[in-house]
Amino acid sequence: MLKIDQATYDAIVAHAKRDHPDEACGIVAGPEGSDRPERFVEMVNAAGSPTFYEFDSTDLLHLYKEMDANDEEPVVIYHSHTATEAYPSRTDIGLAMEPNAHYVLVSTREHGNNPGPVEFRSYRIVDGDVTEEEVRVEPAEA
Amino acid sequence: MAIEVKIPTILRTYTDGEKVVTGSGQSLAGLIDDLETSHPGIKDRLVDADKGGDLRRFVNIYVNDEDVRFLGGLEASLTDGDQVVVLPAVAGGSLPV
């Protein structure tokens, strides 16, 4: 199960809507081993494409060095699909290289850049096997 | 002296869980061959034998923070004390590549 706070959930959805019709991508880092997505990091889609995303290689190195220095890991890796359902594609599965991460897929096919609900789903992807998991959005702490 | 190589989570199965290993080589190709000797299987995850043994498209390797694609790829020259980082690309998308 993925537990994620409302503010982070909202930030992911807002990013996906803003970048529609291109795919949006990013991560939520958290303390190593904690499974708590705490630090939202929006990434640039270097592919700038409606059907593909890729972190820029320099940004990627910077991100991982930063996480290393903070004893963090990528707890959530998110991206959007803008014309298809929020389910990992063959490409997503083949390129999933973080066995400990929750892979979050958001689909903006319904409302695009406009307000309205999105599909927001989460998966584990390990060795080509996809397992969907429950997403529990927790209210922001007062 | 040796070359320090940071190993990403997904490849630590080849390094007994070690995050950092050391190797030697005068070029990236040489270093990868050396790593393969101590960590059998790792080479295939870095280079694509089906594509002439080139670096895999979705694996990034950095030497002293520079992407090796800008340093000559497998020909990139190395010297003792260099820091090498291996990071799988974070990529995907709705259509097949």
- Quote the pTM value: 0.94
Q: Which residue has the tokens 């520079």?
A: B66
Comparing alpha-carbon positions, the chain B residue that sits nearest to A73 is: B9
> Is there a domain that residue B44 lies in?
yes
ipTM of the complex as predicted: 0.94
Domains of chain A from N-terminus onward: 2-138 (3.40.140.10)
Q: Does A82 touch chain B (CB under 8 A)?
A: yes
Q: Which residue has the tokens 């702490």?
A: A141
From the list A73, A79, A97, the residue facing B88 with the nearest CB is A97
CA A39, CA A71: separation in Å to the nearest integer?
Answer: 12
> Is there a domain that residue B97 lies in?
no
Q: What is the predicted pLDDT for the residue at B96?
A: 66
User: Is the Cβ–Cβ distance between A53 and A25 less than 8 Å?
Assistant: yes
- The region that residue A116 occupies, defined by phi over 0 for left and psi between -120 and 50 for alpha, beta otherwise, is left
What CATH number does the domain containing B51 carry?
Answer: 3.10.20.30
Reported confidence tier of residue B1, pLDDT bands at 50, 70, 90:
low
Comparing alpha-carbon positions, the chain B residue that sits nearest to A127 is: B10
- Asked if B97's CB is within 8 angstroms of A99's CB, the reply is no
Rounded to the nearest angstrom, the minimum Cα separation between A12 and chain B is 16
Chain A hits for B90, Cβ within 8 Å: 25, 27, 43, 54-55, 60, 74, 77, 97-98
Q: How many domains does chain B have?
A: 1
Q: What is the predicted pLDDT for the residue at A68?
A: 94
Q: What is the predicted pLDDT for the residue at A86?
A: 97
Q: What is the predicted pLDDT for the residue at B45?
A: 96
Q: What are the tens digits of pLDDT across the range A50-109?
A: 999 999 999 999 999 999 999 999 999 999 999 999 999 999 999 999 999 999 999 999
Q: What are the tens digits of pLDDT across the range B34-90?
A: 999 999 999 999 999 888 889 999 999 999 999 999 999 999 999 999 999 999 999
Q: Does A33 touch chain B (CB under 8 A)?
A: no
Reported confidence tier of residue A142, pLDDT bands at 50, 70, 90:
low
Reported confidence tier of residue B95, pLDDT bands at 50, 70, 90:
confident
Q: What is the predicted pLDDT for the residue at A140?
A: 72
What's chain A's average pLDDT?
96
* Containing structural domain, residue B8: 3-88
User: Is the Cβ–Cβ distance between A91 and A25 less than 8 Å?
Assistant: no
Rounded to the nearest angstrom, the minimum Cα separation between A124 and chain B is 14
> Is there a domain that residue B18 lies in?
yes
Q: What are the tens digits of pLDDT across the range A73-90?
A: 999 999 999 999 999 999
